[in-house]
Amino acid sequence: MRIFHNISETSDLKDTIVTIGTFDGVHLGHQKILKKLVELKNKNGGETLLFTFDPHPRKVLFPEQRDLKLITTTQEKCELLKQFGIDNVLVFPFTIEFSKKSAEDYISNIISETLKTKTLVIGYDHRFGSNREGNIETLKQVSSNYNFDLIEIPAQEINQLNISSTRIRKAIEEGEIEVANSFLGYSFFMSGMVIKGKQLGRTIGYPTANIELLDLDKIKPKTGVYAVNIIIDQIEFKGMLNVGCNPTTDSDRIQKIEVNIFDFYKDIYGKIIKIEFIKHLRNEVKFANLDELKEQLAKDKIACEKIV
């Protein structure tokens, strides 16, 4: 899969089957659109292309709303798109200036000239251009002028799944990982670098890898203990993870992400690892002492081993 970050890189595109959107999470609703693109390619030839944005448009248009966190970073999104058979991704830098482009210029300059669109696959509620003036009806009126076919994903086909990135974000933030995963069609995951912590875990028999997220815009699950899978150098391990401030041992109130990898003893400081969330086990608790914490960790491990 080719990933473009600049319009000048797209000059050799031809006969593209295009869809447009933020596609945060690449959830089951998004996947229906992606499958449609691949079906059209297999039937009619050409190459598939997803036109997406970085940063997320809401972060540019509403900078005062600082609470928007992303299910997938741009890199994670591209990894998922590759798995679903997309040939090309154009990650377009979203700016205020771009948001003011008229619907007519957007169709002419972006959809037609830049993306070389042969077929455009779009949801019934897609809006574009200055003040969101363009919609599916606008595209229907001009598609023949610009020589591209328009395929609309109807409301009933999208709404029957009752899935949205907003619903998934809410589920993750509330610790409802199983709900989020059912909407995503895969396990919610995050990637981060292993950094040094206080190394207290190893003194009580549960050494942990402290994780520093690669992107601060990445959504974090609700505080608590989770059953997880950990992927290190493409090898999968089982483990349990805590998101929280470690109130039993720490007083700094700084939220941390720490994972205990079962039956793993290698030095992985500085390594990038991937963590897949399977189930929220319990909320974070302040214990009276380390013995109580250790006793609970033993119970947590047994519970995780039954799940993952």
pLDDT beyond 70 at 160: no
* Mean pLDDT, the chain, integer: 91
What pLDDT is stored for residue 93 in this prediction?
A: 93
* pLDDT band at residue 201 under the 50/70/90 scheme: low
In this structure, what are the phi and psi dihedrals at residue 72, rounded to the nearest 5 degrees?
Answer: -130, 135
The residue ranges of DSSP E strands in 113-184, in sequence order, are 117-123, 149-153
- The residue ranking higher by pLDDT, 176 or 11, is 176
With 0-12 CB in 10 A as exposed, 13-18 as middle and 19+ as buried, what is 167?
middle
What pLDDT is stored for residue 250 in this prediction?
A: 79
pLDDT digits (tens, 9 = 90+) for 102-142: 999 999 999 999 999 999 998 878 888 888 888 899 999 99
Q: Which residues partner with 274 through β-bridges?
A: 191, 231
pLDDT beyond 90 at 80: yes
pLDDT beyond 70 at 194: yes
pLDDT beyond 90 at 170: yes
Look up the CATH architecture of domain 188-307.
Beta Barrel (2.40)
**What's at 103, amino acid-wise?**
A
pLDDT digits (tens, 9 = 90+) for 14-25: 899 999 999 999
Domain limits, the chain: 2-163, 188-307
With 0-12 CB in 10 A as exposed, 13-18 as middle and 19+ as buried, what is 213?
middle
Instruction: Give the C-alpha distances (Å, rounded to integers) separating 165 from 64, 89, 219.
Output: 20, 20, 12
Lowest mean pLDDT among 13-27, 144-158, 210-224: 144-158
Contact between residue 265 and residue 177 where contact means Cβ atoms under 8 Å apart: no
What pLDDT is stored for residue 265 in this prediction?
A: 87
With 0-12 CB in 10 A as exposed, 13-18 as middle and 19+ as buried, what is 241?
buried
pLDDT digits (tens, 9 = 90+) for 249-278: 777 888 899 999 999 988 999 999 999 999
pLDDT beyond 80 at 66: no
Contact between residue 168 and residue 187 where contact means Cβ atoms under 8 Å apart: no
Instruction: Give the C-alpha distances (Å, rounded to integers) separating 63 from 60, 166, 290.
Output: 6, 18, 43
What pLDDT is stored for residue 161 in this prediction?
A: 60
Contact between residue 119 and residue 17 where contact means Cβ atoms under 8 Å apart: yes
Which CATH number is 2-163 given?
3.40.50.620
Residue 251 is encoded by which pair of tokens? 């007083």
pLDDT beyond 90 at 10: no
pLDDT beyond 90 at 178: yes
199: left (phi over 0), alpha (psi -120 to 50) or beta: left
pLDDT beyond 80 at 39: yes
In the sheet that holds 47-53, the strands lie side by side as 2-4, 88-92, 47-53, 16-20, 117-123, 149-153
Report how far residue 123's alpha carbon sits from residue 30's, in angstroms, rounded to the nearest whole number.
10
Contact between residue 118 and residue 15 where contact means Cβ atoms under 8 Å apart: yes
Quote the pTM value. 0.90
Lowest mean pLDDT among 35-49, 81-95, 128-142, 159-173: 159-173
Report how far residue 132's alpha carbon sits from residue 120's, in angstroms, rounded to the nearest whole number.
18
Residue 202 is encoded by which pair of tokens? 């190893």
